[in-house]
């Protein structure tokens, strides 16, 4: 049985005081059996947030990093720096990184590889734009993002890989993919992993859905057999709402 993961992507929100207050509240939440919780605050909040959650089951994630070890990369953060703050999960290739910061599948592949080599869990994001869905090429887009994102990554490293399917048109828009459409894409992703690796690895892979997940739609999304959790943006910024999401029915 795959565990569910409920992950909060806090994006560029909350200062240290606010992030500490929210993480303190989440550290006290009762997490139902078979579920994992991860929160990904901004880089400057990682250390203080870790102090709040380290004695709880909540895992610390971050939203990006740079794959080089060290050196002249002004403004970037390395994997070793993240290790020292208590980070265990790294979100890679979020659609905002792709669209606003020009991240390519090639760069994302380097990041996934480095994150896995360094012992992190990598949360590889994929998803089509509205235009791509209107042209009915969403499967091709997602296939390319995943197959190029996983180039030269050996099967044994996939134990620590999570894929997050986040249709771009659903992120921050209030439009969620219908549970049926999301399930269809998750099944497609699982079959792709089977083709690239094996049936066993595909069956064990956690695939999260992201894009306007809220306390109102979480129950029906999580009821789908191939949806193994959610990557939640806006609705992860309020303790009571994210708690309801963690405790979905």
Smallest gap from residue 155 Cβ to ligand PGA (A): 27
Beta carbons of 244 and 232 less than 8 angstroms apart: no
Per rule CB under 6 A, is residue 172 in the interface with ligand PGA?
yes
Q: How far is the CB of 197 from ligand PGA (least distance, A)?
A: 25
Closest CB to ligand PGA among residues 123, 202 = 123
Smaller CB separation from ligand PGA, 46 or 202: 46
Which of 231, 242, 243, 248 is the binder for ligand PGA (CB under 6 A)?
A: 231
**Nearest partner of 190 among 165, 223, 221, judged by Cα:** 165
Cβ distance to ligand PGA smaller for residue 125 or 202: 125
Which member of 112, 211, 221, 242 binds ligand PGA (CB under 6 A)?
A: 211
Name the H helices within 125-238. Answer: 130-134, 138-149, 179-196, 199-204, 218-222
**Catalytic-role residue among 67, 89, 94, 186:** 94
Smallest distance, ligand PGA to C-beta of residue 9, A: 4
Half-sphere exposure of residue 37: CA atoms within 13 angstroms, side-chain side: 23
Query: Is 33 a catalytic site residue?
Result: no
| SS3 state at 133 | helix
E strand or H helix that includes residue 39: strand 35-40
Q: Which residues contact 12 (CB under 8 A, 6 or more apart)?
A: 42
Q: Is residue 166 involved in binding ligand PGA (CB under 6 A)?
A: yes
Query: Has 103 been annotated as catalytic?
Result: no
C-alpha closest to that of 45 among 60, 66, 27: 60
Least gap, CB of 40 to ligand PGA (angstroms): 9
Phi, psi of 28 (to 5 degrees): -90, -5
Binding of residue 149 to ligand PGA (CB under 6 A)? no
Dist. CA 227–CA 183, nearest whole Å: 6
Q: Give catalytic residues, as residue numbers.
A: 94, 166
Chain positions contacting ligand PGA, by CB under 6 A: 9, 166, 171-172, 210-213, 231-235
């Amino acid at each position: 049985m795959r565990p569910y993961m409920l992950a909060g992507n806090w994006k560029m929100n909350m200062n240290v005081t606010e992030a500490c207050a929210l993480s303190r509240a989440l550290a006290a939440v009762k997490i139902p059996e078979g579920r994992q919780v991860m929160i990904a605050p901004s880089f400057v909040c990682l250390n203080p947030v870790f102090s709040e959650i380290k004695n709880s089951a909540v895992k610390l994630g971050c939203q990006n990093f740079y794959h080089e070890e060290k050196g002249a990369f002004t403004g970037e953060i390395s994997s070793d720096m993240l290790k020292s703050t208590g980070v265990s999960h790294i979100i890679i290739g979020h659609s905002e990184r792709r669209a606003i910061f020009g991240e390519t599948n090639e760069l994302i592949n380097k990041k996934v590889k480095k994150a896995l080599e360094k012992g992190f869990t990598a949360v590889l994001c994929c998803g089509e734009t509205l235009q791509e869905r209107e042209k009915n090429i969403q499967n091709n887009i997602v296939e390319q993002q995943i197959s190029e994102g996983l180039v030269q990554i050996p099967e044994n490293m996939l134990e620590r890989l999570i894929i997050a399917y986040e249709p771009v048109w659903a992120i921050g828009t209030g439009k969620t993919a219908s549970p049926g459409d999301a399930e269809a894409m998750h099944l497609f992703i699982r079959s792709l992993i089977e083709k690239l690796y094996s049936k066993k690895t595909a069956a064990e892979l956690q695939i999260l859905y992201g894009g306007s997940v809220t306390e109102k739609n979480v129950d029906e999304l999580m009821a789908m057999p191939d949806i193994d959790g959610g990557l939640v943006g806006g609705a992860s910024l309020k303790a009571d709402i994210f708690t309801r999401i963690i405790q979905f029915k």
